[in-house]
Amino acid sequence: MADKNKILLVEDDTSLGYLLSEYLKMKGFDVHWAKNGLEGLEILNAQTVDLAILDVMMPDMDGFTLAGKIQSQYPQIPFIFLTARSLKIDVLKGFSLGAVDYLKKPIDEEELVVRIRSLLSRLSGGPGKEDQDKIIYKVGAYTLFTDKQELHFRDEIIRLTGRENELLAYLIAHENELCSHKDILIQLWGKNDYFNQKSLNVFVSHLRKYLGRDPSLSIENIHRKGFILKTE
Protein backbone atom coordinates (compact mmCIF):
# COMPACT_ATOMS: atom_id res chain seq x y z
CA MET A 1 0.00 0.00 0.00
CA ALA A 2 1.40 3.40 -0.99
CA ASP A 3 2.27 5.83 1.77
CA LYS A 4 -0.23 8.60 2.31
CA ASN A 5 0.79 12.11 1.33
CA LYS A 6 1.44 14.17 4.46
CA ILE A 7 -0.27 17.55 4.61
CA LEU A 8 0.34 20.36 7.09
CA LEU A 9 -2.81 22.45 7.50
CA VAL A 10 -2.36 25.74 9.40
CA GLU A 11 -5.77 27.28 10.06
CA ASP A 12 -6.81 29.21 13.17
CA ASP A 13 -10.56 28.99 12.49
CA THR A 14 -11.41 25.86 14.48
CA SER A 15 -14.60 25.08 12.57
CA LEU A 16 -12.96 25.36 9.15
CA GLY A 17 -9.77 23.68 10.34
CA TYR A 18 -11.68 20.69 11.69
CA LEU A 19 -13.82 20.44 8.55
CA LEU A 20 -10.87 20.57 6.14
CA SER A 21 -8.74 18.26 8.28
CA GLU A 22 -11.43 15.58 8.46
CA TYR A 23 -12.34 15.92 4.79
CA LEU A 24 -8.73 15.56 3.66
CA LYS A 25 -8.27 12.53 5.92
CA MET A 26 -11.39 11.02 4.38
CA LYS A 27 -9.79 11.54 0.97
CA GLY A 28 -6.71 9.58 1.97
CA PHE A 29 -4.28 12.25 3.19
CA ASP A 30 -2.27 12.15 6.41
CA VAL A 31 -3.16 15.56 7.88
CA HIS A 32 -1.40 17.45 10.66
CA TRP A 33 -3.56 20.40 11.72
CA ALA A 34 -1.94 23.37 13.44
CA LYS A 35 -4.09 26.17 14.86
CA ASN A 36 -1.41 28.87 14.51
CA GLY A 37 1.94 29.54 12.87
CA LEU A 38 4.04 28.52 15.89
CA GLU A 39 2.28 25.15 16.06
CA GLY A 40 2.89 24.78 12.34
CA LEU A 41 6.64 25.30 12.79
CA GLU A 42 6.69 22.79 15.66
CA ILE A 43 5.08 20.18 13.42
CA LEU A 44 7.60 20.88 10.66
CA ASN A 45 10.42 20.41 13.17
CA ALA A 46 9.05 17.00 14.07
CA GLN A 47 7.47 15.74 10.83
CA THR A 48 8.29 15.52 7.15
CA VAL A 49 5.39 16.82 5.06
CA ASP A 50 4.72 16.85 1.32
CA LEU A 51 2.66 20.06 1.21
CA ALA A 52 1.69 22.90 3.55
CA ILE A 53 -1.67 24.70 3.40
CA LEU A 54 -1.46 28.09 5.11
CA ASP A 55 -4.22 30.44 6.16
CA VAL A 56 -3.13 34.04 5.54
CA MET A 57 -5.05 35.87 8.27
CA MET A 58 -3.86 34.53 11.64
CA PRO A 59 -2.99 36.27 14.92
CA ASP A 60 0.62 36.52 16.16
CA MET A 61 2.11 35.07 12.96
CA ASP A 62 0.25 35.49 9.68
CA GLY A 63 0.54 33.10 6.77
CA PHE A 64 2.95 35.32 4.85
CA THR A 65 5.37 35.40 7.78
CA LEU A 66 5.06 31.65 8.25
CA ALA A 67 5.70 31.12 4.53
CA GLY A 68 8.91 33.13 4.78
CA LYS A 69 10.11 30.91 7.63
CA ILE A 70 9.23 27.77 5.66
CA GLN A 71 11.17 29.07 2.66
CA SER A 72 14.15 29.78 4.89
CA GLN A 73 14.14 26.59 6.96
CA TYR A 74 12.36 24.07 4.71
CA PRO A 75 12.74 25.29 1.11
CA GLN A 76 11.85 21.87 -0.29
CA ILE A 77 8.28 22.04 1.09
CA PRO A 78 5.73 23.54 -1.34
CA PHE A 79 2.87 25.55 0.11
CA ILE A 80 -0.45 27.05 -0.89
CA PHE A 81 -2.41 29.87 0.70
CA LEU A 82 -6.02 29.95 1.85
CA THR A 83 -7.41 33.43 2.31
CA ALA A 84 -10.53 35.53 2.46
CA ARG A 85 -8.50 38.44 1.07
CA SER A 86 -8.99 38.87 -2.64
CA LEU A 87 -6.89 41.97 -3.30
CA LYS A 88 -4.59 41.49 -6.29
CA ILE A 89 -1.60 42.76 -4.30
CA ASP A 90 -2.11 40.04 -1.66
CA VAL A 91 -2.30 37.31 -4.30
CA LEU A 92 0.87 38.56 -5.96
CA LYS A 93 2.61 38.79 -2.60
CA GLY A 94 1.70 35.16 -1.97
CA PHE A 95 3.22 34.04 -5.25
CA SER A 96 6.30 36.21 -4.73
CA LEU A 97 6.91 34.31 -1.49
CA GLY A 98 6.99 31.07 -3.45
CA ALA A 99 3.41 29.79 -3.14
CA VAL A 100 2.48 27.14 -5.69
CA ASP A 101 -1.23 27.97 -5.48
CA TYR A 102 -3.68 30.38 -3.88
CA LEU A 103 -7.30 29.56 -2.98
CA LYS A 104 -9.89 32.05 -1.82
CA LYS A 105 -12.42 31.44 0.92
CA PRO A 106 -15.08 30.12 1.12
CA ILE A 107 -13.25 26.93 0.22
CA ASP A 108 -14.79 24.31 -2.02
CA GLU A 109 -13.49 21.11 -0.41
CA GLU A 110 -13.66 19.09 -3.63
CA GLU A 111 -11.74 21.78 -5.54
CA LEU A 112 -9.11 21.86 -2.78
CA VAL A 113 -8.58 18.10 -3.09
CA VAL A 114 -8.29 18.33 -6.88
CA ARG A 115 -5.75 21.16 -6.57
CA ILE A 116 -3.72 19.26 -3.96
CA ARG A 117 -3.60 16.06 -6.00
CA SER A 118 -2.70 17.97 -9.14
CA LEU A 119 0.09 19.85 -7.38
CA LEU A 120 1.54 16.76 -5.73
CA SER A 121 1.42 14.84 -8.98
CA ARG A 122 3.11 17.65 -10.88
CA LEU A 123 5.72 18.25 -8.19
CA SER A 124 6.56 14.56 -7.93
CA GLY A 125 6.61 14.36 -11.71
CA GLY A 126 5.28 10.80 -11.84
CA PRO A 127 7.37 7.87 -13.10
CA GLY A 128 11.05 8.56 -13.68
CA LYS A 129 11.12 11.70 -11.60
CA GLU A 130 13.65 10.23 -9.16
CA ASP A 131 16.29 10.06 -11.87
CA GLN A 132 15.26 13.44 -13.25
CA ASP A 133 15.68 15.01 -9.82
CA LYS A 134 19.33 13.93 -9.76
CA ILE A 135 20.24 15.76 -12.96
CA ILE A 136 23.18 18.15 -12.63
CA TYR A 137 23.13 21.10 -15.04
CA LYS A 138 26.14 23.17 -16.03
CA VAL A 139 25.49 26.66 -17.34
CA GLY A 140 28.19 29.28 -17.61
CA ALA A 141 30.15 29.35 -14.37
CA TYR A 142 27.26 27.75 -12.45
CA THR A 143 26.29 24.22 -11.54
CA LEU A 144 22.65 23.42 -10.67
CA PHE A 145 22.06 20.40 -8.42
CA THR A 146 18.35 19.79 -8.89
CA ASP A 147 18.06 17.14 -6.19
CA LYS A 148 19.44 19.51 -3.53
CA GLN A 149 17.86 22.66 -5.02
CA GLU A 150 21.27 24.32 -4.97
CA LEU A 151 22.97 26.59 -7.49
CA HIS A 152 26.76 26.61 -7.08
CA PHE A 153 28.99 29.48 -8.22
CA ARG A 154 32.62 28.76 -7.40
CA ASP A 155 32.64 28.39 -3.60
CA GLU A 156 29.24 30.04 -3.16
CA ILE A 157 26.03 28.04 -2.70
CA ILE A 158 22.69 29.66 -3.58
CA ARG A 159 19.76 27.75 -2.11
CA LEU A 160 16.71 27.78 -4.38
CA THR A 161 13.03 27.37 -3.69
CA GLY A 162 11.29 24.46 -5.37
CA ARG A 163 9.78 26.72 -8.01
CA GLU A 164 13.09 28.54 -8.70
CA ASN A 165 14.78 25.16 -9.06
CA GLU A 166 12.16 23.89 -11.54
CA LEU A 167 12.16 27.09 -13.58
CA LEU A 168 15.94 27.32 -13.83
CA ALA A 169 16.22 23.65 -14.82
CA TYR A 170 13.58 24.22 -17.51
CA LEU A 171 15.38 27.28 -18.92
CA ILE A 172 18.76 25.54 -18.90
CA ALA A 173 17.30 22.51 -20.67
CA HIS A 174 16.09 24.92 -23.37
CA GLU A 175 19.03 27.36 -23.32
CA ASN A 176 19.20 29.75 -26.26
CA GLU A 177 15.65 28.76 -27.19
CA LEU A 178 12.47 30.79 -26.76
CA CYS A 179 10.43 29.37 -23.87
CA SER A 180 6.90 30.70 -24.25
CA HIS A 181 5.00 31.97 -21.23
CA LYS A 182 2.28 29.42 -21.92
CA ASP A 183 4.64 26.44 -22.14
CA ILE A 184 6.43 27.39 -18.91
CA LEU A 185 3.21 27.97 -17.01
CA ILE A 186 1.52 24.78 -18.16
CA GLN A 187 4.65 22.72 -17.48
CA LEU A 188 5.43 24.14 -14.02
CA TRP A 189 2.20 25.67 -12.71
CA GLY A 190 -0.30 23.46 -14.50
CA LYS A 191 -2.34 26.42 -15.72
CA ASN A 192 -1.89 29.62 -17.67
CA ASP A 193 -3.60 32.57 -16.00
CA TYR A 194 -2.95 36.19 -15.02
CA PHE A 195 -1.71 35.56 -11.48
CA ASN A 196 0.62 32.75 -12.52
CA GLN A 197 2.06 34.97 -15.26
CA LYS A 198 2.81 37.64 -12.66
CA SER A 199 4.33 34.99 -10.41
CA LEU A 200 6.51 33.76 -13.28
CA ASN A 201 7.88 37.28 -13.75
CA VAL A 202 8.80 37.41 -10.06
CA PHE A 203 10.71 34.12 -10.23
CA VAL A 204 12.53 35.17 -13.42
CA SER A 205 13.69 38.32 -11.63
CA HIS A 206 15.03 36.13 -8.79
CA LEU A 207 16.96 33.96 -11.27
CA ARG A 208 18.40 37.02 -13.04
CA LYS A 209 19.80 38.16 -9.71
CA TYR A 210 21.32 34.75 -8.98
CA LEU A 211 22.89 34.46 -12.43
CA GLY A 212 24.20 38.03 -12.42
CA ARG A 213 27.67 36.97 -11.28
CA ASP A 214 28.41 35.56 -14.76
CA PRO A 215 28.20 38.26 -17.48
CA SER A 216 28.02 35.57 -20.18
CA LEU A 217 24.52 34.62 -19.01
CA SER A 218 21.26 36.53 -19.34
CA ILE A 219 17.55 35.83 -19.29
CA GLU A 220 16.02 37.88 -22.07
CA ASN A 221 12.37 38.87 -22.08
CA ILE A 222 10.72 38.60 -25.50
CA HIS A 223 7.70 40.90 -25.25
CA ARG A 224 4.42 38.98 -25.04
CA LYS A 225 6.14 35.76 -26.07
CA GLY A 226 8.40 34.39 -23.37
CA PHE A 227 11.98 34.14 -22.12
CA ILE A 228 15.32 32.98 -23.49
CA LEU A 229 18.22 31.93 -21.30
CA LYS A 230 21.12 33.18 -23.44
CA THR A 231 24.58 31.72 -23.06
CA GLU A 232 27.73 32.81 -24.86
Among the candidates 124, 139, 173, a domain finishes at 124
pLDDT digits (tens, 9 = 90+) for 152-194: 998 899 998 888 888 999 999 899 999 999 889 888 877 777 7
pLDDT digits (tens, 9 = 90+) for 101-139: 778 888 888 888 888 887 787 666 544 444 445 678 889
How far apart, in whole angstroms, are the C-alpha atoms of residue 26 and residue 125?
24
How far apart, in whole angstroms, are the C-alpha atoms of residue 206 and residue 187?
19
Judge whether 1 lies within some domain. Answer: no
Q: Dihedrals φ, ψ of 115, to 5°?
A: -65, -45
User: In this structure, what CATH number is given to the domain that contains residue 18?
Assistant: 3.40.50.2300
Alpha-carbon separation of residue 158 from 94, 120, 124, 201 (angstroms): 22, 25, 23, 20
Q: Dihedrals φ, ψ of 179, to 5°?
A: -105, 110
Domain co-membership, 19 together with 87: yes
Domain co-membership, 226 together with 154: yes
pLDDT digits (tens, 9 = 90+) for 189-225: 777 777 778 889 989 999 999 999 999 999 999 988 9
Among the candidates 124, 141, 170, a domain finishes at 124
Among the candidates 79, 102, 124, a domain finishes at 124
Domain co-membership, 72 together with 111: yes
Task: Name the residue among 113, 105, 146 with its Cα closest to residue 129.
Answer: 146
Question: Residue 105: which domain range?
Answer: 6-124
